[in-house]
Each structure stands twice: as structure tokens, then as C-alpha cells.
Amino acid sequence: ALVFNQTTGGVYAGAVSGTGSLEKTGSGVLQLLGANTYTGGTVISAGSLVGNTTSLQGDVVDNATLIFDQASDGVFAGVVSGTGSVIKQGAGALTLVAPNTYSGGTTIASGSLIGTTDSLQGNIVDNAVLVFDQATDGTYAGNVTGSGVLVKNGTGTLTLDGVNGYLGGTTVNAGTLVGNTASLQGDITNNSTLTFLQNSAGSYAGRLFGVGRFIKLGTGTLLLTANSSTFTGPTEVNAGTLSVGNLANPGAVLGGPVTVGPGGTLAGSGSVGSLVSSGTVAIGGAGGTISVGGNATFAPGSTLQVTPGDGGVVTPVAVGGAASVATGTTLALVRATDLPLFTEIPVISAGGGLTGQFTNVISDYAFIEPDVSTTATGLSVTFGRNTVGMVDAVTTPNQQSTAAAVDGLPNTSPIYQAVVRLPDDPEAVRTAFASLSGESHASTATALLDSRFLYSGIANHLRGDSQDTLVGDTMVWITGRSLPTRVDGDANAVSVRREDNGVMAGAERRFGERSVVGIAVGNQDIESWSREWGDRADVDGTHAGVYGRADWSAFSLQGAVDYASYRVDSTRRVMLPGVLEERMDSRYDATAVTVSLEAAWNLRTEGAVYSPFIAADYTRLKTDGFTERGGISALSVDSASDTFSTATLGVRGDWDLGQKAALYASAGWRHAFGDRSVQRSAGFVGTASEFSVQSVTLAKNAAIGELGVSLITSPRSRLALSLQGLSGDGQTAYGGQVTWGVSF
């Protein structure tokens, strides 16, 4: 072996021959100038070895830096391996032909470096000319940077997989170059085949030149933003979307003919030389509309997809030559929320004349039908009402009542125009009419009818005999109540949940042994909401009432009259999927009078009382009319008067737990009479419409129960705690009360 231990720069001009190897050690640079013929190969252990295809012989193990200083063209057939790098300098062209494995990367400082995906390794800094002379198919996964150009020669296919940043542009002289917007850089001169394999959205700002084929593959969208009017080669869109410009880049041009395959889509706001489509041409919307300089042909199986832009505007396809529409084509009209109705919208304008008609016309509207018309030079579409009745598109009585009202509005009404733009989706249509109906206003009324708020506190205070042990004929008391309730939905109205909380206070006077007369007041807070639509009502109630109780031996009778004044703040969410979403707000007042009566037969034993009882409640509710605020779907709701009556049959027990405590419990069956749902009449603000909706339905039969304890906290005070519940016919309520009373 010949070893150059070169710690400083040096030049060796002699010729090295023989069967031995040459090794470079030391940190310096060794330059070989001779016409060497040694056959034992070359090893670079440190520093740099400079030579050319004449002075460097055999396979090279490069663990430092190998520099080809190639002033003239040359071919190096040896295998370069190791961890080092390869540098090409000099004005000549260096061709690497062996399957190399060096891992330190490649630098082209000047001249040309020619190779393949087998011979060129690692990342490449290209500041001159990089040539892939690819006779067979290959993939290069490294990154190419620098100021130089990339050239594709050879009949094979080269696929660039890296994220490249070279600045000198790209030339395709032979074969196929495959890449994407991350790997293909600069202007591209294409005189063979250029393929963008774009599986994600990407933008290419370079210009195209030449006469070669330009192919778009991959599922993603390729956006071209440059003017490539001098590119006259054919373009094929075989997969994904090719967008020639967009609204932000309307000057994009492809000069040659464009063919759209069955799996491809052509879009954009630029222009192409000519067009033959067997796939999809998409116009309008955010992408703009393509124009065609020459002829345009829509072949069988092709689709022209039209998306109205802002304000429902559509720019037609401007064809400079003749436009031809074959049998078996489709005009697909994409739904738009601001689509102009009953207005002719141009779709194709052909300077050289239009022949043919689209066989299929489809749109994604529930209540709109497109009507296509043609002239000698153009095609347009008008959107009008179809024959589908809105009532026929929904299922529940509330939805049908609302649908009939909307369908009867003038076609200039904003709410009518919003509804007819709904998508052709049964669930979206049902959602729209359900949220438009305002049924939550009716369901809020059921919470007021079914509350029995003040009497619940009065009855809890009067319950049991423990108060008889207190000293004094006058008593004041205070009660807090919380009663969460759920009423299930039915085939018409959705379920409702509510929180019913409040505080009551009263004062009473005892007459004789077992007669009591008192007054009571209370403040109530009800929150009622629907999970399905997000509607909500917050109710603030003020109550005042009188009550009394009388016992005659084993028989007792108690009753109360409650007057309530309510302020309701309501929020309603209107959802027309894909068209409109609004929030309606309203405030209105209501009043209610509730009469409650209970009779019991008290069977007394030692330490206990068992009381079968029957109770009746009657409520009359009057609700003011009101008008919502918030948008075009606002309702004007009429005033109303409603009643609700129940009767309860049950048994109650009271058990002494010593001298200062008692346990009480009750169980019963409650039956509701008459209408158990509430009807509200309403109309859309500013229209003559009127329709009625029903609320959720209250339980007809339900089991009720209570469990409580009464504690004598002093000779003049008592504390009572109870749990209460109701369940039946889809209605459940579980809550509790705390009552404290003082006598004097």
C-alpha cells in the first residue's frame, strides 16, 4: 500500500502504477495529478483527496472527503463507499456509474455531476448542474439544495421524494420526472414527461416551458399560479384536482391542450389552450372559473360542477372556440346559501357556438329545482321551487304545522328563501322545521303549570303532628326547595329538563286545638332547557298565597290558594343546517292561580298516625303575547290561557322517634285530567303566517312519594327535612325540601 500521510496541502504529479492500493491519511489536502494505473483501490482515512477520473483509480473507501476536480469530461466506474462526502468541482462533467454507498452527501461546486439514483447518494448541494441520467426507474429520497439546476436525462422514470430547495430550475430532456410541490423547484422546461404526484394540497409558482407531457396524479390539489402560456405540451389530469390559478392568482395559464380523465378534476380561474373532459370541471366558488382559449368538449361521463360564489354569482366558462356537450354528461349544481332564486345564471359561454345538452342535472337542494336552458352560444340555469311540499318532507305535527306556514309565505320572504336552500337531507330538513317551530315556548308553560311551588312548602310545613308540641299559637316558617325534573319527548315534541328551585316563607295563627290559618310568599327560579336544540328559558316567579288546615277528630282538611307572577327570559336556537343559524331572545310575563285541597283520615295509634288521603290541584295560567328578537326567523307568539288539573290518592304515615323527632313518609298515585300538553299559536315576524305547536306532554299517571324527618330543635322551633319524588309516563322528578319554623 502507498500511504500519503499528508498533514498539510500537497501535490503529487507522479504516476502511480502496480497492484497495490493508495491510502490518504492526515488532515491535509493531497492532490493527485498523474495518469495513474494502480489497481488496488483507494482509501481516504482523513483530510481530502483531490483528483479526477484519470488519477483516481479503483473502488474508493471514502471516510473523509473525496474531490473530483474535473476540468474535462470523465467517467468514474469505481464504487465509492464509506462515511465521507463527494465533491465535484471543475468545469467538466463527471459521470458516476457504479452503485455507490457513501453516506456523507454530495456537493457540486462547478461543472456537471451526472449519475443515477444508484450512484448519487445522500443530500446534494447543487450549485452548478445536477444530471440524473436515469435509464431505468429509480427514486431519489435525498434533499437537493443550492443555486444550481436539476436535469433529467435517460428513458427511465426518476421520482424525487425529498424536500428540495434548489434554485436553478428543472429540465426534463428524456424519460419521466415525477415529483410534487415539495420536490420540484423553479421553472421547468419539459420536453418529455413531467408528472406531479400530489397527494396533498400544494402550490407550484414556477413556469412551465417546452412541448412535453404534463401529468397530474395523486389525490391532492395542485395549484398552478404562474403564466405558462409558452408551454404547448399536452396536460393530463388523471387523478385529484389541477387548479390553474384561483381568485388570488387569476393570471395563471397553461398554453397547451388539457385532457381531464375520469378520475380527475380541472378547476381554477386561469386559462388553458383547449379542453377535453371525461372527468370533472369545477367552476365557481373560491376557485373561480376556468376559461378556454380554443375548443371545449364535455365527453360522455364528464361532469361540469357549478358552485355559486359570494352573492350567488357564477362566472361562466368562457370558451373562445366551440363548446360541445355529449350525451351522458352531468351538470352538478353545488348548494349555496346565497343562491339567487328565479334568476337565470350563465354557466357556459362559447364564442364559436354551443352544441349538445347535459343529460343529467343534479342539485343538493330539498326544495329547489334547476331548469337548464341553451342558446346558440351559451348555457344557463335558473333555480326555482320544486314540487316537493314542505309538509311532506317532515314527520311530526309541530314540524308539519311550521312547514305549512313557511310554504305559504311569499317567495320573497327571507325565511322562505332560507328554507328552500336547505340541503336534500331529510335529517337537516327535520332539524330546520323543529327549531323554527318555537315549541320550547309551549314546553316552558308546562313547567309553570306543573310547579305547585308554594303549596309544596305549605304542605311540607303542615305535614305531621310534631308541630302540635310547640309552644305558642303563632308560627313563622321558611322553606327551601329544589326539584330537578325531566319530561321525555314524544312523537311530536322533544324532551325538556328543568331545575325548579326557590325559597318560601309563611306566618300562621292557630285557632283552637287543630285549626290553622296562614299566609305565605315565595320566590321561585325555574331553568328549563332542551338538550336537542339548546333552547332555554329562565323564569323568575313571585308567589303569594293563603292557606288553612282544620282537624276534626280523625278527619283533616287543608288547602291553599297561590297567586304567582312570572317573568320569562327565553333563548331559542334556530338551526337551518348549511344555511342559517340564529339565536332568538324574548322576554314576557305570565300569571298563574293555583288552588290546592287535601282531605285525610287520620288513624292514630300509640306513637304513629296513618293517614289515607286524597288531594286535588287546579292551575290556571295566563301568558302574555310577545315578539322574539334576533333574526329573520323571529316569531310573534300570541297570548294564551291554559289549565292543568290533577288528583292524588295515597297514604301517609307519621312515626314518633322519641319526644323530639318524628319520621314521616307518603306514597300515592297522581292522575292528570284533560289536556296535558300546551298549545301555542305563533307567526313569523313581519308576515301574515300563523301556525300552532304543542308542548311536551306531562304525565297522565305517576307514582309520587316523600320521606322526611321532623326535629324539635327547641320548645319553640322545629326543623323538617324531606326527599320527594315523582315517576311515571315519561316524567321524573326527584328533589328535597328543608323547613324551619318558630312559634311564639
526-552 pLDDT, tens digit each = 999 998 888 999 999 999 999 999 998
The grid coordinates of residue 495 equal 324532551
The residues near 39 (Cβ < 8 Å, ≥ 6 apart) are: 18, 19, 57, 58
Q: 381 and 438 share a domain?
A: no
Asked whether residue 420 is assigned to any structural domain, the reply reads no
3-state SS, residue 454: helix
Opening angle at CA 250, ends 249 and 255, nearest 5: 110
Under 8 Å between Cβ of 591 and 564: yes
pLDDT tens, residue by residue, 313-349: 889 999 999 999 999 999 999 888 777 788 888 999 9
C-alpha closest to that of 635 among 626, 622, 646: 626
**Final residue in a domain of this structure, among 352, 368, 385:** 385
Q: 355 and 459 share a domain?
A: no
Q: How far is residue 331's CA from residue 318's CA, in Å, rounded to a whole number? A: 16
3-state SS, residue 428: helix
The two beta strands, 74-76 and 93-96, are: parallel
3-state SS, residue 340: coil
3-state SS, residue 713: strand
Q: How far is residue 137's CA from residue 526's CA, in Å, rounded to a whole number? A: 75
Q: 119 and 241 share a domain?
A: yes
What single DSSP character describes residue 610? E
pLDDT on residue 667 = 98
The grid coordinates of residue 5 equal 500521510
Instruction: Report CA Rg, the chain.
Output: 44
Under 8 Å between Cβ of 693 and 721: no
pLDDT on residue 470 = 60
Q: 506 and 588 share a domain?
A: yes
Q: 354 and 446 share a domain?
A: no
Distance of CA 173 to the CA centre of its chain: 47
Asked whether residue 262 is assigned to any structural domain, the reply reads yes
- Low-confidence stretches of the chain (pLDDT < 70) are 464-471
Tell me phi and psi for residue 201, to 5 degrees: -65, 135
Q: How far is residue 78's CA from residue 68's CA, in Å, rounded to a whole number? A: 13
Q: How far is residue 219's CA from residue 199's CA, in Å, rounded to a whole number? A: 5
Distance of CA 683 to the CA centre of its chain: 32
> What are the DSSP E strand ranges found in 313-429?
317-319, 323-325, 330-333, 344-350, 354-356, 360-363, 368-374, 378-385
The grid coordinates of residue 373 equal 336552458
For residue 105, the one-letter residue type is: G
Asked whether residue 412 is assigned to any structural domain, the reply reads no
DSSP per-residue codes, 239-270:
SEEEEE-BTTBTT-EEEEEEEE-TTEEEE-SS
The residues near 281 (Cβ < 8 Å, ≥ 6 apart) are: 260, 265, 266, 267, 275, 290, 298, 302, 303, 304, 305, 317
Q: How many domains does the chain fold into?
A: 2
CATH number reported for the structural domain that contains residue 486 in this entry: 2.40.128.130
Under 8 Å between Cβ of 146 and 167: yes
Q: How far is residue 37's CA from residue 59's CA, in Å, rounded to a whole number? A: 13
Q: Report the DSSP beta bridge partners of residue 369.
A: 384
Helix (H) or strand (E) holding 48: strand 48-51
Angle between helices 426-436 and 397-407 (to 10 degrees): 90
Q: How far is residue 202's CA from residue 194's CA, in Å, rounded to a whole number? A: 16
Q: How far is residue 678's CA from residue 632's CA, in Å, rounded to a whole number? A: 25
The grid coordinates of residue 123 equal 443530500
Q: 438 and 379 share a domain?
A: no
The residues near 264 (Cβ < 8 Å, ≥ 6 apart) are: 216, 236, 237, 238, 239, 240, 241, 242, 279, 280
Q: How far is residue 360's CA from residue 382's CA, in Å, rounded to a whole number? A: 15
Residue at grid coordinates 457513501: 102
Q: 200 and 334 share a domain?
A: yes
The grid coordinates of residue 326 equal 355529449
**Final residue in a domain of this structure, among 385, 403, 422:** 385
Q: With helix as H, strand as E and coil as C, how does 282-305 read? A: EEEHHHCCCEECCCEEECCCCEEE
Asked whether residue 38 is assigned to any structural domain, the reply reads yes
The two beta strands, 29-32 and 48-51, are: parallel
C-alpha closest to that of 113 among 140, 86, 142: 86
pLDDT on residue 258 = 99
Under 8 Å between Cβ of 55 and 37: no
Q: 486 and 581 share a domain?
A: yes
Under 8 Å between Cβ of 712 and 470: yes
From the CB of residue 369, how many other CB atoms can be counted at a distance below 10 Å?
Answer: 14
Q: With helix as H, strand as E and coil as C, how does 76-119 read? A: ECCCEECCCEEEEECCCEEEECCCCCCCCCEEECCCEEEECCCC
Asked whether residue 422 is assigned to any structural domain, the reply reads no
175: containing domain = 2-385
HSE (CB half, 13 Å, CA atoms) of 731?
A: 22
Asked whether residue 397 is assigned to any structural domain, the reply reads no
Under 8 Å between Cβ of 610 and 603: yes
pLDDT on residue 466 = 44
Asked whether residue 403 is assigned to any structural domain, the reply reads no
Q: 365 and 440 share a domain?
A: no
3-state SS, residue 311: helix
**Final residue in a domain of this structure, among 385, 402, 419:** 385
Q: 633 and 731 share a domain?
A: yes
Under 8 Å between Cβ of 243 and 222: yes
3-state SS, residue 392: helix
The grid coordinates of residue 304 equal 361540469
The residues near 298 (Cβ < 8 Å, ≥ 6 apart) are: 277, 281, 304, 323, 324, 325, 326, 329, 356, 358
Q: How far is residue 734's CA from residue 709's CA, in Å, rounded to a whole number? A: 17
Q: 440 and 308 share a domain?
A: no
Asked whether residue 340 is assigned to any structural domain, the reply reads yes
Tell me phi and psi for residue 312, to 5 degrees: 75, 15
> What is the longest distance spanned by two Cα atoms in the chain?
138
Torsion of CA 240, 347, 256, 154, to 10 degrees: 10
pLDDT on residue 616 = 98
pLDDT on residue 469 = 56
Residue at grid coordinates 413531467: 194
Under 8 Å between Cβ of 469 and 523: no
Q: 363 and 507 share a domain?
A: no
